[in-house]
Structure 1
Amino acid sequence: MYRKVQKQDTPPESFELPFGGKLASDNRWVVLAKIIPWSEFESEYAARFTEEIGAPAKTFRMALGALIIKEKLGTSDRETVEQIRENPYLQYFIGMSAYSNKPPFDPSMLVHFRERIDMNLVNKINQEIVKKVLESKEEVEVKSKKSEVEDSKSESTNRGQLILDASCAPADISYPDLGLLNQARKQTETIIDTLYNSLLVKNINKPRTYRKRARKDYLAVAKKRKVNFKERRKAIKKQLQYIKRNLAHIQQLILDGTSLLKLSNRQYKMLLVVAEVDRQQLWLYENKKRSIEDRIVSLSQPHIRPIVRGKARAEVEFGAKFSVSCFDGYVFLEHISWDNFNESGDLKSQVEAYKNYTGYYPESVHVDKIYRTRENRTWCQKRGIRMSGSPLGRPPKNVCPEKKKQAADDELIRNSIEGKFGQGKRRFSLGRVMAKLPHTSLTSIALTFLVMNLSTLLLRLFCRFLCQFFKITSFFASLINESNVLINCRQQKLIFTPA
């Protein structure tokens, strides 16, 4: 059950503090609370609660605010709740009307918040916030001045610069080497114990799993600093044999009278994953291959796939691949998938999304080499969009200085989206997604881009305040200088005033 909040835009002066006083209106959390349109998306959040019974759910502002705080501060679920309990500004940000020393909710509620607020809702909120900022009076004045200058140079209706790129958000898993088979073997041993204990008539001996010998064989290879190909292949064969024997024992226990219904949901799901891992690893071993379609690299997160990136740091990354668009310093998540995909196929949809969002096509699209296909170049040329990079074909011998300067400027413009990726992976949680479920992981990735845009917006508001402050101080400084000059002139009798 969900109860809608009638009033969410309460001023910070009305927030009750235990020792008196008021919240500062220029605090970053107070400013962010004014920027985010809480009430506009509350109805969409409330539609997810169909039943009219049960305890009332937490408000939309509290759910989204807690997720933003967690991403902004880079804390865990438990630490996020502690930070909210200790900080009155954070309590005001999530919609509380008075300070309380008690936790507003249990840390486990953050998992439910990530499930209820999915990736699509976060993207809508991100787009709405940026759209309101771009339509504000200051942004409209700046854009009108830029458009007048551009229209004087050319009659094109295209405006703006669109930057496209793709990256990967690695998940929190270990490298899928021999340890994956060792974990699969241990899971089968636990399942055998559960099924054997559930037998009503134990007229058979407990199956022998040789778990001590299997662990000893695994550690004999895992503890070595350098393992050659033959040793690793021999160790994989042994672990596959142990898993095969355990799966046969599970089948025999079912024939002896037990049932898979005795397993918990987690154990049943793990049994299916282990069976698929055994099939894939056996095929790789027999065919001496290193890749297979839909390869499982983690037992706890079987949805994760290896993404071949070919980067200097890591040739293969394990996580979700996504493509984003960037313009005016704001980043938007366009396409995300657990499987690898060619990002050049997203160029048309991203440009069309830019037109639907702004009302016009971009003047130029700044992309890397993989986007510069013949089809994409022709499509952009028909719409008057200039694509960055050198043209197709053999490079000319002599290049004019103007084209060289334009190519250098295009690379500088495209560097901004690389900086956004660095900001998301070093400052925020894009470099290591800690969520385990597939839908909550997508929500965490979308929240990263939302918080990045909010941080950009806060920085611009602060810079605008500094500009206004320096303009005022420079004005008063000029008045003071003029008055000092007049006083000095009068003291030296250079200026005569009538009596």
Structure 2
Amino acid sequence: MLPKMTPTNQPNLFYGSLMDMLDRNDPLIALADVIDWNKIEEALRGYYCMDKGRPAKPLRLMAGLLMLKYLENLSDENVVVQWKRNPYYQYFCGLSDYQCGLPCDATELVKFRNRIGQGGIDAIFGASVALHPEASNESHVIIDSTAQEKHITYPTDGKLAIKMIHALHKIAKREGIALRRTYLKEIKEHRITLRFFRHPKKKHKARSAMKRLRTIAGIVMRDMQRSFTLEQIAFYAEQFSLYTKVLLQKRSDKDKIYSLHEPHIYAMAKGKDHKSYEFGVKASVVTTYTHGIVVGAVAHESNEHDSKTLKAVLTHASTHRHTPIQRATCDRGYRGIKEVNTTHICIPGIHLKRDTKEEKEHKRKQFRRRAAIEPTIGHLKHDHRMARNYLKGFIGDQINLLMAACAWNLKKWMNLFIHALFLAKDYRQMMVSIGYMKLYWSVWIWLGLTQRESRL
């Protein structure tokens, strides 16, 4: 249920206040003071009940830990440990006194994400967009798509067959079913044979081993189905249907299964030399044209053409803005669509004969600016945990993408604060220098006057 917090102004007897030992000019302190935490708590309060269960952790604490996790590129385990060691993290999460213990167990973050879901994460992302009220409401945006890879091994038929056999063995042990044969020794031999799949003299033997592993998986599955009761058949129907689909799929099939624990992912060929295929989901990102604020981010459950993803991502971007999006600049992968609702889609092409020199130069600058979204996506991947997604399911893909975009907006605000602080400090130094110069010239003039009077 909702946390029961009794606010008190009584100081701690054993620990001093955090503000007595922290730097007020630190960007994380300034960010904690400017975020509208009341709005975030109000949005997340609806995911908790009022009078059932044990009291939950403070909502600001859990939301702050989630922000720090993606802002600093930390895992669930590391962020709770760093929170204990770093008083700035504690102030960011709403504490007034230093706490020497862990804020919660790392699994609490998993339960918190599962509880609030995509709606709660979207509210946190909306708070990060609200930090840039003017920059996030530009009428012109840039849209691009990328691949958000899932944390899976490179899929091969041999790996999938071996994983299925081991999963079936665990089910048989759990249900107390005695298999006629486990094939453990034969599986070990075939696994070694598969290591030389690309050897010119051993590839035929490796293919035979792969075919035999698929046959063994089918034998074990049918052996278990014969021993199942009606309740067990109904309970494992979905899992066995997935295994059957994996065994029957061929190389040229569509909607193939690449992972047993993440069956929703698909393969994307992006034309990269170092990585022919990426296994995960397609993600679309919307940034403002001038300032580069991420105002929309959507993960797509199917591998659609880029032009068909525009409606979903523009709709999401419009929910966190006060003004409509008039123009969206995209690359040539979005060919085939010129307008979505009231948004005009701009795609680079050849110059028209009727274009003047000024119009050609304007188009060239406009589409050169489109490339600004590429480093933004690079930072989302390598600085804010979007390069490889460790969260389970398609809802995990959506949460990871939104929190990475939220961390980008928070980092953007912190960088602007540091720049403003530097300018203010430089201005103060300039004023001090002007003061010293005025004093120098006044002393020099005074000395000149006194020497002149002495000569007279």
Same fold (TM over 0.5): yes
Letter in 2 for 1:184: M
User: Structure 1 residue 179 and structure 2 residue 159: aligned?
Assistant: yes
* Contact 2:168–2:220 (CA under 8 A) maintained in structure 1: yes
1:359 corresponds to 2:323: yes
Percent of matched pairs sharing the same residue: 21
Counterpart of 2:333 (choices 363, 370, 377) is 370
Residues 325-334 or 272-281, more deviating: 272-281
2:196–2:203 Cα contact (<8 Å) kept: no
Q: How many Å separate the matches in 2 of 1:17 and 1:24?
A: 21
Post-superposition offset of 1:279:
2.8
Q: For this pair of structures, how many residues does the alignment match?
A: 447
* Residue 390 (structure 2) aligns with: 434
Query: Are 1:419 and 2:375 counterparts?
Result: yes
Q: With the length of structure 1 as denominator, give the TM-score of the two structures.
A: 0.78
- How far is 1:407 from its partner? 4.3
SS of residue matched to 2:294: strand
For residues 272-324 of structure 1, the C-alpha deviation after alignment (integer angstroms, 9 at most, x for no partner) is 4454244344241xxxx33322x221122223222333333323211121212
| Contact 2:147–2:278 under 8 Å retained in 1 | yes
For the pair 1:324 / 2:285, whether they are aligned, the reply is yes
Which whole-Å deviations, capped at 9, do the CAs of 1:432-466 have from their partners, x for residues lacking one?
A: 11122432342222111101100001101111121
In 2: Cα distance, 1:15 partner to 1:371 partner: 59
* Match among 305, 308, 312 for residue 266 of structure 2: 305
Task: Determine the structure 2 residue equivalent to 1:282.
Answer: 248
Aligned to 2:349: 390
Is 1:208 the counterpart of 2:208? The answer is: no
CA contact (8 A) 2:155 2:259 kept: yes
Give SS of 2:174's match. Answer: helix
Distance in 2 (CA, whole Å) between partners of 1:111 and 1:337 is 22
Aligned counterpart in structure 1 of residue 225 of structure 2, from 237, 251, 270: 251
User: How much has 1:247 moved relative to structure 2?
Assistant: 1.1
How do 1:138-153 residues align onto structure 2 when only pairs under 5 Å count? none
Q: Distance in 2 between matches of 1:367 and 1:317?
A: 22
Q: What CA distance in whole angstroms lies between the structure 1 residues aligned with 2:207 and 2:110? A: 40
Pairing 1:260–2:232 present:
yes
| Residue 305 of structure 2: aligned partner | 342
Deviation at 1:89, TM superposition (A): 2.1
In structure 2, the CA distance between the partners of 1:245 and 1:61, relative to structure 1 (3 Å rule), is same
Deviations 1:1-38 (A, max 9, x none): 11365769x9xx97887267433322333222223222
Q: What residue is the counterpart of 2:111 in the other structure?
A: 112
- Deviation per residue, 1:327-374 (Å, 9 max, x gap): 122113343223212231343565566667242444x4321002243x
Aligned match of 1:461: 417
Change (3 A) 1:15 1:110: farther
> Is the Cα–Cα contact under 8 Å of residues 164 and 325 in structure 1 kept in the other structure?
yes
Task: Determine the C-alpha separation between the residues in 1 that align with 2:204 and 2:354.
Answer: 54
Please tell me whether residue 292 in structure 1 is matched to residue 248 in structure 2. no
Give, as a single letter, the amino acid of the residue that structure 1 aligns with 2:323. Answer: G
Aligned residue number for residue 15 of structure 2:
18
Structure 1 pair 282–85 and aligned structure 2 pair: CA distance change class (3 A): same
| SS of equivalent residue, structure 1 residue 430 | coil
Corresponding residue of 2:89: 90
What TM-score do the two structures reach when normalised by structure 2? 0.85
**8 Å CA contact 1:320, 1:339 repeated in 2:** yes
For residues 312 and 372 of structure 1, do their structure 2 counterparts lie closer, same or farther at Cα, with a shift above 3 Å needed?
Answer: same
Q: Distance in 1 between matches of 2:133 and 2:317?
A: 13
Residues 100-249 of structure 1 aligned to structure 2 (within 5 Å)? 100-134=99-133, 160-177=139-156, 178-195=158-175, 197=176, 206-223=179-196, 226=199, 230-249=204-223
Structure 2 counterpart SS, 1:435: coil
Q: In the superposition, relative to structure 1, how do residues 388 and 4 fare at CA in structure 2: closer, same or farther (>3 Å)?
A: farther
C-alpha separation in 2, matches of 1:16 and 1:398: 78
Distance 1:17 1:496, change over 3 A: farther
Query: Do 1:176 and 1:298's aligned partners in 2 also have CA atoms closer than 8 Å?
Result: yes
Report if aligned partners of 2:76, 2:109 keep a CA contact under 8 Å in 1: yes
Aligned Cα root-mean-square deviation (Å): 3.5
For the 8 Å contact 1:366–1:413, the answer to whether it is kept is no
- Contact preservation (8 Å) 1:424, 1:449: yes
- Partner residue in 2 for 1:45: 44
**Distance change >3 Å, CA 92–CA 17, structure 1 → 2:** farther
Unaligned 5+ segments in structure 2 are: none
Distance in 2, matches of 1:437 and 1:349, equals 20
**More off after superposition, 70-79 vs 399-408:** 399-408
3-state secondary structure, aligned to 1:469: helix
Code of the aligned partner of 2:183: Y
Shift of 1:208: 1.0
Distance (whole Å) between structure 1 residues aligned to residue 286 and residue 165 of structure 2: 44
